[in-house]
Structures are given as structure tokens and as C-alpha cells.
Amino acid sequence: MSSPTSSSSTHKEEIAALTTVKKFLSGIKARNPAQMHACIHPSGGHALLIRPSPSRSSRSSPVGKQHLSLTLAEVVNRIPFDSAASLEENIALAEWEEGEDGERFEGRKSEARVDGDLAAVWTPYEFLRDGVLSHVGTNVFSLVKLCGGKRKGEWVIGWISDTWRVPDEEVV
């Protein structure tokens, strides 16, 4: 998120980092794993916190939580691209973007921060399966700018951490 005092070049880099995240996530709906792989660092990782649904265990019980760690390549490879179901992950707009999120993200916005060749992007999200809300949460993307080769200067995702919970679950 840009502050009024942040430089124009920093704001451009924030937009570029968020654009990489959007391209990565749009690969889900497009059923395009190659597009998603192009957005990640080959040795990148992922950490996921899944909260149990109320029907499976008590919300107050930490036993029902699951932590899952994967490489980013494994994350892409476990998406059921061959499923008949349509899949889509939508993220909240950033403060500088035009549009209305309505009640979907409870007023929360996506944010991007940049320091040189490092960026962090925070994105509240909703995941739809066949147009029906499946789960919600927040993604935190850590990106690095490539420093060599044909893609020098491009942002790639080095790490993703995210939460996964059923809609309407209280965030604690």
C-alpha cells in the first residue's frame, strides 16, 4: 500500500509485484499451470494453515488445525486442473485500484510493500468452486526480483503463506 510520501517508482514496483500475484492466481481460473509456474521461484515454498470446519471439530480446539508445507511447484501441481468444476480465487482490491469489493472482504484491501528487490503482498481472498464460495482467508506472498538472465528485473513469488477457513468463521 502506498503512502502519500512514497515515491512513484516504489508505487510502480508495488503494482508490478501485485500484478505477478494476480497473474499467478488467474492461472487457477484459466486452468493454466504453466502460467502459474512462470510466476514462482523454482525453490519457493508454501505454508498453509487450515482451520477445521465447525462440523468436523470444535472451533476452540487447536487439535483440528492443520499446517501444510509444500514447495510452490507442489502447490501448483495439486490444483485439480482436470476437474469438471470451475475454480477461481478472487482477491481484495488494493487501495489504488478502481472498483468496489462491497461486503466480500469486510473492508479489507490488498496491500503491497517494496524494499528494493524484496516485496510482500497481503491479499484477503475468497475461493469459488463452480461459482459457490468454498473458503476464504488471507494470502501473504513474498516476492523477489530476479537479478540475472533473460527475466532480469521480473518479480517472482518466493514464498506463500495463507490461511484457509470456512466462510463466516470468526477470525481469532
Q: Give 67-77 pLDDT, tens digit per residue.
A: 889 999 999 99
Q: Give the residue from 8, 6, 38 showing the smallest Cα distance to 21.
A: 38
Residue range 107-121, pLDDT digits in tens: 899 999 999 999 999
What pLDDT was estimated at residue 39?
Answer: 98
Condensed to tens digits (0 to 9), the pLDDT of residues 132-155 reads 999 999 999 999 999 989 999 999
pLDDT at 167: 84
Cα dihedral sign, 109-115-116-121 = negative
User: In which residue are the cell numbers 492466481 written?
Assistant: 25
Asked, for residue 157, whether it belongs to a domain, the answer is yes
> Is 93 inside any structural domain?
yes
Distance CA 150, CA 46 (A): 26
Within a domain: 1: no
Provide the CATH number for the domain around residue 157: 3.10.450.50
Indicate whether 2 belongs to any domain: no
Residue 113: what pLDDT?
97
Residue 170 included in any domain: no
Which of 131, 129, 132, 124 lies closest to 164 in space, CA to CA? 124
Enumerate the β-bridge partners of residue 125. Answer: 91, 137
State residue 3's pLDDT score. Answer: 45
Give me the domain span that covers residue 69: 8-164
Residue stretches of the chain with pLDDT short of 50: 1-5, 56-62
Total structural domains in the chain?
1
pLDDT at 139: 96
